[in-house]
Structure 1
Amino acid sequence: MKKYDVFVIGSGMSGMTVANKCASKGLKVGITDELPYGGTCALRGCDPKKVIIGATEVRDFSQRLKGNGIDTVPKVNWEDIMAFKQSFVDAMPPKIEKGYKNKDIDTYHSSAKFLSGNTLQVGDEVIEADKIVIASGAKPRILDFEGSEHALSSTDFLNLKELPKSLLFIGGGYIAFEFAHIAARAGAEVTIVHRGEKPLENFEQDIVKHLVEATKNLGVNLILETEVTGIEKTEKGYKVKGNKNGKATTFTTETVFNSAGRPPAIFDLDLEKANISYSKKGIEVNKYLQSTSNPNVYAAGDSANTQGLPLTPVAVLEGHVLASNLIKGNKKEVSYPPMPTVVFTLPTMASVGLTEKQAKADGIKYKVNYKSAEEWFNAKRLNVPEYAFKTIVDQEQQILLGAHLIGPNSEEVINIFAMAIKTKMKLQEIRTMIFTYPTMASDIPHML
């Protein structure tokens, strides 16, 4: 039996942060991941996705300026962009493992299961640790209808050797929308089937409707209020069966993708054997990110049921807090600054702070500024019809509570709003700032 001060399950951003920080303070650390080291973001999510989007951005920009200085709209070369993406992905696991070895962290490549409150079965090894950290991330939701095994995952999409002629996404969240935009701009016929009345439910719906419009204008077939009930393999692809308000409906497509959410990847860990409380949202933890039922266990990132959004920078923040508590004892409480989040469609949609619904629920005296800015100079020079904002303002304190944008570079502009919310900057101070002009950020004072 091997013994450690700290043993980490999962090598994504929170697990990596914990392992490296604890090892640098002299603790004996081990880490395991049944998948290549690096986690979802670096290998199967944000990073590879953003590399692929790069090619579609060029096509989108060219299309918007066709006839206004651009004659030819380039095509996306799927094979080339996937090879470029893979150059980033392939470099990551060996680089991360080398970093662990340099810090004397023992590395394992097997799944882990709890045997007791502080012991694990990791492959053929039995491991005992003073503290065990669960940072195993999230994985695609299991679909429970006939033929669900035919649905591919988001990982499969990011590894497609060739782009199918037609794709259908089950679920109307950010993964479906981002991948739908990529595939449509690369020349595929795309359908999104969502069981809810509104897609992207957690975002400000006044802004989502602009993205829905942009998505439909791209040629994506968006089907709402339709539950997928089965997938049947055919000679040419698949027949997807659905139920819309009690009526049966079918769709034919070459490939089907499961983008119906990503629950925590914790349900195969035999948590009961270690007396670890959990829910469908993750491991139940206290303000120190320690298990509420087993003091030897901590959790962070998508594995933990916290107030943090399922975002890479949040996982890193939680990793730092957790590591500090392992090193110094429980002295650091997890606290979240405003968490900007982005849907990387084209145009991008970004949010930070409160939605109007949340401000109303909190009983705050607020004011809303909501407008389509398609007639503004920035929209016209870029020929973008979908440019809109919604800001939520605290009327008494005259500070910003929330900002919700759709339009070019909104993924960058949202960071300025996040800073203004965090620092409780007065509206008048923001209005009187000098921004470089003409940039997207120079529109900020006019959005308040």
Structure 2
Amino acid sequence: MSDFDYDLFVIGAGSGGVRASRVAASHGARVAVAEEYRVGGTCVIRGCVPKKLLVYGAHFAEDIHDARKFGWDVPECRFDWNVLRDNVLAEVDRLEGLYGQTLDNHHVTVFKTRATIVGPQKVRLADGTELTAERILIATGGWPHVPEFPGSEHAITSNEVFHLETLPKRIMIAGGGYIANEFAGIFNEFGSQVTIVNRGDTILRGYDEQIRDRLLQISMTKGIHFKFNVPFRSIEKNDDGTLTVHLENCDPFIVDAVLMATGRVPNTKGIGLEEVGVELDDQGAIKVDETNQSSVPSIYAVGDVTNRIQLTPVAIREGQAFADSVFGGKPTVVDYQNVPSAVFSHPPIGAVGMTEAEARNKLGTVRIYTSDFRAMKNVLAGRNERALYKMVVNAATDQVVGLHMIGPDAPEILQAAAIAVKAGLTKADFDATVALHPSMAEELVLLK
């Protein structure tokens, strides 16, 4: 018998932690996991899952309007935020139960409390109980970053936005990344007056320039306001519950809510990492090698807490690789090349591989193919919104090294197309594939 209480102790029951826990247990390890909030982590409880449900709800605003052009006699409709909010939160509760059931089915011990590290192989629960483990895995994810300025405590983050008591008539969203643009689209479709405020001059940094410019153009057409190169000075809470926002070089704004979507930072504070010698980078992320091992041999980390690629499927891959490598006898290293991503804006974006700028810098000579079109549904509905598909090709090898799309269902189409990019297929391979007509996806094999 081992001298330790557990073979593996996991801190954090999010996507990466749950996958690592159940896979390690399936390999025969004695596993425990501590979660101080709710099993499921950011993605399930207060991230991509409830947000995607809000995205679905927001789409009905345009779908109901467009339905009239397709012959449906649709009466005037009223949106009820409370109904959607409560239904989304009920679905989150259901999923949390399923995640807990998965851990229970794999005989993983769950401590619903905070745990900190007090030694290379020892953790302490909030009630003072100390437990030992041969290996410790940190999977505590990320946390919303809120800049410090007078009145910043009056703002909310993506943690609280799903619990709003009422739908804000006017909402200001700080940031230019995917969270800011997704919630801007959501609240705009719900009828809120939306203003995005960005310290910089670019939205969706890291995405292809043509694609992000198209989203900016469409968002402005839909009525979303943008303020660039504008830092916050202060927020004041008024007697009627509204907020007065003071920005640099702008007149004051009066809004009902301010949502800070200014990035996420690794959730490593107060866990005891530095006290036991775990090295962190300048952003507080745990430094790990390709096997997810930290500077302390018995301590590992996966997911957003390592700040490699902050995506749920990546955390799941890392958790699986860790468990298979350490407990399954199957050494596995995660491949971070050509990881697809999506922005569930209105319309959504899908991307994989190099942007045009990245390809030109790295490869030198590239060929660019684009298709700029109106989706058939939009044509009949009288909606002028245009989709844009872009393919980046290595001119020397004909290999497709990047795909970037904005338009209806772009993420659904991109997922399958990402397989082709990952496999290293060429433009000729796309050209040789017969189109599926009529569809938006056929544009990928018709690019000229």
Shorter-chain TM-score above 0.5: yes
Residue correspondence of structure 1 range 137-286 to structure 2 within 5 A? 137-236=141-240, 237-243=242-248, 247=249, 249-279=251-281, 280=283, 282-286=285-289
Residue correspondence of structure 1 range 32-431 to structure 2 within 5 A? 32-64=34-66, 66-67=68-69, 69-70=71-72, 72=74, 74-124=77-127, 125-236=129-240, 237-243=242-248, 247=249, 249-279=251-281, 280=283, 282-291=285-294, 293-306=295-308, 309-328=309-328, 331-374=331-374, 377=376, 380-381=379-380, 383-431=383-431
1:97-138: CA deviations, max 9, x gaps?
233223221111222222122222221221221111111111
Conserved in 2, the CA contact under 8 Å of 1:64 and 1:384?
A: no
Deviation at 1:249, TM superposition (A): 4.0
More displaced 10-residue stretch of structure 1: 313-322 or 434-443: 434-443
Deviation at 1:70, TM superposition (A): 4.9
Deviation at 1:289, TM superposition (A): 1.0
Conserved in 2, the CA contact under 8 Å of 1:56 and 1:76?
A: no
1:337-359: CA deviations, max 9, x gaps?
52111111121111111011211
Deviation at 1:75, TM superposition (A): 3.7
Q: Which amino acid aligns with 2:265?
A: P
SS of 1:115 mapped into structure 2: strand
Deviation at 1:389, TM superposition (A): 2.1
Q: Which amino acid aligns with 1:241?
A: H
Q: C-alpha distance in 2, partners of 1:31/1:223?
A: 44
SS of 2:252 mapped into structure 1: strand
Q: TM-score, normalised by structure 2?
A: 0.93
SS of 1:202 mapped into structure 2: coil
Deviation at 1:66, TM superposition (A): 4.7
Q: Where do 5+ consecutive residues of structure 1 fail to align?
A: none
More displaced 10-residue stretch of structure 1: 396-405 or 331-340: 331-340
Conserved in 2, the CA contact under 8 Å of 1:347 and 1:406?
A: yes
SS of 1:184 mapped into structure 2: helix
Conserved in 1, the CA contact under 8 Å of 2:274 and 2:280?
A: no
Conserved in 2, the CA contact under 8 Å of 1:169 and 1:192?
A: yes
Q: C-alpha distance in 1, partners of 2:98/2:80?
A: 28
Deviation at 1:58, TM superposition (A): 2.0
Deviation at 1:16, TM superposition (A): 0.4
Deviation at 1:76, TM superposition (A): 2.7
Conserved in 1, the CA contact under 8 Å of 2:199 and 2:228?
A: yes
Conserved in 1, the CA contact under 8 Å of 2:173 and 2:180?
A: yes
Q: C-alpha distance in 2, partners of 1:210/1:114?
A: 47
* C-alpha RMSD over aligned residues: 2.0
Q: C-alpha distance in 1, partners of 2:307/2:263?
A: 16
Q: C-alpha distance in 1, partners of 2:221/2:322?
A: 45
More displaced 10-residue stretch of structure 1: 71-80 or 257-266: 71-80
Paired residues, number: 441
Q: Which amino acid aligns with 1:323?
A: A
1:161-203: CA deviations, max 9, x gaps?
3212111111121111111111111111111111111111121
Conserved in 2, the CA contact under 8 Å of 1:167 and 1:256?
A: yes
* Counterparts in 2 of 1:265 and 1:447: CA distance versus 1, 3 Å: farther
Which of the numbers 1, 4, 7 marks the counterpart of 1:5? Answer: 7
Deviation at 1:400, TM superposition (A): 0.7
Deviation at 1:71, TM superposition (A): 5.3
Deviation at 1:48, TM superposition (A): 1.0
Q: TM-score, normalised by structure 1?
A: 0.93
Conserved in 1, the CA contact under 8 Å of 2:156 and 2:258?
A: yes
Conserved in 2, the CA contact under 8 Å of 1:22 and 1:323?
A: yes
Conserved in 2, the CA contact under 8 Å of 1:197 and 1:224?
A: yes
Conserved in 2, the CA contact under 8 Å of 1:398 and 1:426?
A: yes
Which of the numbers 24, 27, 38 marks the counterpart of 1:25? Answer: 27
Conserved in 2, the CA contact under 8 Å of 1:338 and 1:353?
A: yes
Conserved in 1, the CA contact under 8 Å of 2:175 and 2:262?
A: yes
SS of 2:5 mapped into structure 1: strand
Deviation at 1:305, TM superposition (A): 3.6
Deviation at 1:329, TM superposition (A): 6.1
Q: C-alpha distance in 2, partners of 1:305/1:155?
A: 19
Q: C-alpha distance in 1, partners of 2:442/2:4?
A: 58
